[in-house]
A and B are shown apart, each in its own frame.
Chain A
Amino acid sequence: MTTLNHYLFVSAALFSLGLAGVVIRRNILIIYMCLEMMLSAANLALVAFSRFHVTEGLPDYAAQSLVFFTITVAAAEVAVGLAIIVALFRARQSVDVESITRLKG
């Protein structure tokens, strides 16, 4: 029987993996995938909490509605984000974080 804790454990693992990837990886595309993983982790936690928060015999759907918004927003973010990353690649011929170190001071 899977309990709430199982789901939360997977969610926390996904989130940590995503965050670690963002910090460690040098390729902006992979960093971006890791960011999507963080969002998925949050979605999983939302759905799990919602499923196990039962009122009057039914799960509380408020949190599940947020998941739909998160997925939609993530899609919009990817559309804009990839466009910016493509522009970066055209300008620098690279999508490595080392190629964006001009701004400092």
Chain B
Amino acid sequence: MSVFTIEAGLALLGLFLLLLDAFAPGVSRRTLGILSMAGVGLALVLLVTVAGGEEALPAFVKPFQQLDALAMFYKGFALVITLLVLWLVLECAPYMTRFTLEGRVGEMLSLPLFVCVGMMWMAGAKDLVTVFVALELVTVSFYVLVGYTRKSAMALEAGVKYLILGAISTGVLVFGIAWVYGATGSLEFEGIRQAAAAEGTNRTILLFGAAFLLAGLGFKVAAAPFQMWVPDVYQGASMPVAAFLSVGSKAAGFAVLSRVVAALAGEGSAVRGEVLAALIAAGSVTVLVGSLPAIFQTSVKRLLGYSSISHAGFLLLALGCQGAGRFGLDANGVVAFYLATYLPMTVLGFLALAVLRRNGRGEELEDFRGLGRRSPMLALVVTLAFASLAGLPLTVGFLGKMLVVLTLVDQGQWVALAFAILAAAVGFYYYFRVILAMYSSDEGVPEAAPVRVSLAARVVGVGLAVAVVLLGVYPRPLQPMLREASQAENSAVSAPSGH
């Protein structure tokens, strides 16, 4: 069975569920959700166990898809986060249906499948046409998802903002692709890499195109100065969609960025210096514009939005260190590792907010007051998530940040390093404000009913928390997967040595 069959199957399942929801009114959302989750779960199992490699792909797919380890990693990543998001939709459905038309959530259970297929297709893309089509499949599905809870004024507003800014980024991206094509005469990554290193390529045109291309992708991953939509959209969107945007959309964006940077800034490329400098500069600014406003946030959901910007900054810094590496991971391996650490802690943060919402609480810092006394288990899990987001040692978040800092040291990027450390220090302040709120005295807070957590939420929450700690202490299971990814990714990047 080829990977393409799995992707096509998922897309067909998405279409089937969409039709089922529209024309079979008797089907409950539970059935839809279970079908959808079963499909994604089955796809994940098949991908890990029996899916063939590149040689198993049908002939008509081979020109467009490659299945190196990096592609496989991001494909698996897309399936995992989609599974979690689908479950989160079912978990949030009891309160979310108040804000949707006629109390429906059917589309929220089928559209994530299309997003997932888009992310998987993008991860293995060999050329910019495939990237563009897959990216738009993801983006257009997200337009619908963000505005889906449209009876909430804020969700509608977030939907419009995401729509306009997403459409701008699409325009900028295609314009960039056009000029990169003009300079290199190729839309394939391999062709672009060769042309960028060849004599006689017009450097100015290539730089012009690269600037637009990177700006367009910068929108998608929330890089400064294109990050302003993030807090608004996260705050307005429903909890599962915010989590999906934060983890899935970001991972997809960085999967593409890894390929684009490898093509534009390959060994001997005429624009290597400029592209890497731009990434480092954008990363340095992004960590700060994510961290500094976060200090003043009272809404925890908005705080997670700023946190997502700050993490995007760290990822950009890692990506800008092409040629550096630690522990057998090159720059793209570090990015993939960071994303793997980012998934459990961020989902856990949004899960905690979803649990509070289900109990009729809000998303403000105030709503966390007194949780430590009334719901110690929930408070402990939330503490782990936010400590890991801050980068406390013995959590996965620490390993990701440490890896980025070490590669910056290796490259001698001292200014960027200063920015990163400052942002991490500020991060400790605002993440621990949430933790302090839970354990500080809750005098004056009206006594509320204890927070009820469903059994499924307990299992998933504890599972993610265990992952946060276990991988923080013993990250070895992640390493072979990513080390392989690093080596397969780009032979032009020499393997790091001596560490």
Contact = CB atoms under 8 A, between A and B. Distances in A.
Given A15-B175, A105-B302, A81 B163 contact: yes
Contacts of B231: 103, 105
B133 A73 contact: yes
A32 B167 contact: yes
A76 B186 CA distance: 26
B299 to A, nearest CB: 6
B182 A49 contact: yes
Interface in B143-167: 143-144, 147, 150, 153-154, 156-161, 163-164, 167
Contact of A100 (B161, B177, B187, B302): B161
B156 A88 contact: yes
Interface in B203-239: 231-232, 235-236
A84 B154 contact: no
Nearest to B151: A91
A81 to B, nearest CB: 5
Contacts of B167: 32, 35, 77, 81
A22 B167 CA distance: 10
A69 B132 contact: yes
A77 B139 CA distance: 9
Contact of B179 (A45, A73, A104): A45
Interface in B250-296: none
B157 A42 contact: no
A17 interface: no
B179 A105 contact: no
Contact of B178 (A28, A49, A80, A81): A49
A42 B187 contact: no
A94 B438 CA distance: 41
Chain B: interface secondary structure?
helix
Contacts of A50: 181
B172 interface: yes
A15 B298 CA distance: 39
Contacts of A65: 129
A103 B156 contact: no
B168 interface: yes
B297 interface: yes
A42 B160 contact: no
Contact of A46 (B136, B161, B181, B299): B181
A66 B129 contact: yes
B463 interface: no
Interface residues of B, number: 43
B143 A66 contact: no
B177 A87 contact: no
Nearest to A102: B157
Contacts of A60: 185
Interface string A5-43: 000100100010011001000001001100100110111
A45 B182 contact: yes
A53 B163 contact: no
B147 A84 contact: yes
B307 interface: no
Interface string A40-69: 011101100110010000001011011001
Given A38-B172, A42-B174, A28 B164 contact: yes
B424 to A, nearest CB: 23
Nearest to A78: B167
B298 A66 contact: no
29 contacts: A22-B164, A28-B160, A32-B164, A35-B164, A38-B172, A39-B171, A42-B174, A43-B178, A45-B179, A45-B182, A46-B181, A49-B182, A62-B187, A66-B177, A69-B132, A73-B133, A73-B140, A77-B140, A77-B170, A84-B147, A84-B159, A84-B160, A85-B163, A87-B147, A100-B157, A100-B161, A103-B232, A103-B235, A103-B236
Interface of B: 128-129, 132-133, 136, 140, 143-144, 147, 150, 153-154, 156-161, 163-164, 167-168, 170-172, 174-175, 177-179, 181-182, 185-187, 231-232, 235-236, 297-299, 302
Given A39-B170, A87-B147, 7 more contacts: A31-B164, A35-B168, A38-B175, A53-B182, A84-B147, A100-B161, A104-B232
Across the A-B interface, give the 3 residue pairs with the lowest CB-CB distance, nearest first: A38-B171, A42-B174, A45-B178
